[in-house]
Structure formats: C-alpha cells, structure tokens
Amino acid sequence: MLNVSLSVQRFTPQTEAKPRLETHRVEVGERASVLDALFALQRGPAPDLAFRFSCRVGMCGSCAMVVNGREQLACSTLVKAVGPELKIEPLRNLPMVRDLAVDLAPFFSAYKKTQPHFTPRADLNPDAFYPIPHESPEGKALNHQPQCIDCGACYSSCTAVTLKPRYAGPMALHRALTVMVDPRDGRSQDRMDVVASEEGAFGCRTLGNCREVCPRGISPTQSIERLKRLAVLDQFRGMWGRIFGAKPSRG
C-alpha cells in the first residue's frame, strides 16, 4: 500500500470568496491512479469532494485536471509515477463550478466558432467514393484528429487563452485544420475567415504547451502552424486574383 498526501483545491463559488487547498492523507494500492486516490479521499475525510470522471480508461477525457502543476488524466496517471505528495487542482482558463469541476462552456463555444462539423461540397456525389491516401497530407491530418478526446488539457495549458480569452484555442484550431484539408468539404473558406486572425491561428505564440500535455500525443501546435501557412497562401491567391483576374494554380 502507498501512503499518499493529497492537497486538493476546494471551492464553492456560492459560499466562498476564493479557492483553498485542503490536505489529507490516504492509503491506496501500488497500482492506484490519481483518480483512485480521489475516490479514497471521497470515501474517507472528504465525502463532498466534487470532480468529474466517466470511462476510467483514458478515453473520455472527463477526468482531466492539474496534477502537481501539469494537466493530466487522473484515471491514467499512476500515483506511484507522480510521487507520494499530490497537489490536485482544476483545469485552468475555465470558470469554476465546484472543487475540481469546471464549466466547459467556453471551451466548447470556442470549438463551435471554427465550424468544426463536416459540410459536403455542393457538387459532391453522395454515391461516389472519394479515396484519400493515408500518406497524403490530407490523409495524415484526417487520421490524426480521431485521437483527440476533447479533454481540455491543451486549452488549460495554453497561455494564449490565458492572455486572450477570445482566442479559439488549440483543440478548436486542430479540428478546424482537419475539416479544412478534407477535399470533400465545402466550407473551408468560411472557416478561413475565423482561423486567419489573432483570435484564430495567428494568436498562437508557438510555445508548445498544448503538445506537452496532450494525453494522446497530438501536436495542436503543428496543426496551427499549418493553418498559418494555409492562411498566408489564401491571402496570396486573393491578391493574385485581384491583380490578374485569376487565382494561381495549386500545382
């Protein structure tokens, strides 16, 4: 058994002015996760502790929180790997609901801003087959996105979101790239108007925090850099069309 010191953030906005840390000791098994330690705390000295969880196998993303200063999934992070003293806080850059639970509305509002749903081109034949080679840039981008579990860790770690709350954030922009490079999609230009701005891809300062904390190993930074290149190319094509009355070939 492991004897663990847990310092967890407690906060009830309706009755408290600011968050506080509450420290307890619990015993957990050798293979216990941080989520198991929170259950032990809930069964013992803090029965009213609020936190989110669901699948418990690292797939749903609902148990994302800040463990010892780093965004992690509580269910797939072992206590033994982190250490005998844990400081557990809620995700950053999001309004508090209670204790370790946050309001994800701003996160998903930013997500919707980039129009993340697939909209087929008007000329697309619904009965036709449109192969996208796995090794093509489009194929790689499309294959990468399904690994995202919308946990919010990247949004929490992003300093651009901290400084500019209207910034769409890493996950939303990563998803935007996925649909924009899909040759079957018909709303790429609409999304370009959103991502080609300081609230979009050009708001990123390329620090890479999102890449470091992603539990699925995704690099939103890489996706955002590609969006920047697409935005510059789009502006160049527009300028070319205004000057010469035609858009340059994509090659």
- The C-alpha atoms of residue 194 and residue 180 are separated, in whole angstroms, by 12
Return the domain boundaries, the chain.
2-102, 105-244
- Model confidence at 240, in pLDDT bands (50, 70, 90)? low
pLDDT digits (tens, 9 = 90+) for 33-91: 999 999 999 999 999 999 999 999 999 999 999 999 999 999 999 999 999 999 999 99
Is 105-244 in the same CATH topology as 2-102?
A: no
pTM of the complete model beyond 0.85: yes
Q: Which two tokens stand for residue 71?
A: 């965004």
CB 92 within 8 A of CB 66: yes
pLDDT at 177 over 70: yes
Q: Which own/partner pairs from 27-30 qualify as long-range (CB within 8 Å, at least 24 positions apart)?
A: 27/1, 27/2, 27/3, 28/1, 28/2, 28/4, 28/79, 29/1, 29/2, 30/1, 30/2, 30/80
Class for the domain spanning 105-244: mainly alpha
What contacts 15, CB < 8 A, 6 or more positions away?
Answer: none
CATH of domain 2-102: 3.10.20.30
Q: Which two tokens stand for residue 66?
A: 């800040």
- The C-alpha atoms of residue 70 and residue 89 are separated, in whole angstroms, by 9
Q: Is 78 helix (H, G, I), strand (E, B) or coil?
A: strand
